Amino acid sequence: MKTLARAVLAALLATIPATALAHPGDHSNMTLAQAAQHMLTQPDHLSMIALAVALAGTAWGAVKVWRAR
């Protein structure tokens, strides 16, 4: 269990956005609608969303397999 928990925690920490990975520009004054549009139209944001979904799916599948044993 400890190994699986550590793997899931590492996967979650890997999805935390970092300033070094962000593109330049100030996004703090965007409304919620503008932020959502920006997130869904920029390739760098879409790739991070896809990565987070893939990692969550992998973690969910791993937990499901682990519990089935």
* DSSP state at residue 27: -
pTM beyond 0.75: the answer is no
Residues 6+ apart with CB under 8 A from 63: 4, 8
pLDDT for position 57: 92
> Residue 22: what pLDDT?
61
Q: What's the pLDDT at 26? A: 78
Q: Where are the domains of the chain?
A: 43-69
Mean pLDDT in each 10-residue stretch from start to end of the chain (69 residues)? 80 68 75 91 87 91 89
- What's at 29, amino acid-wise? N
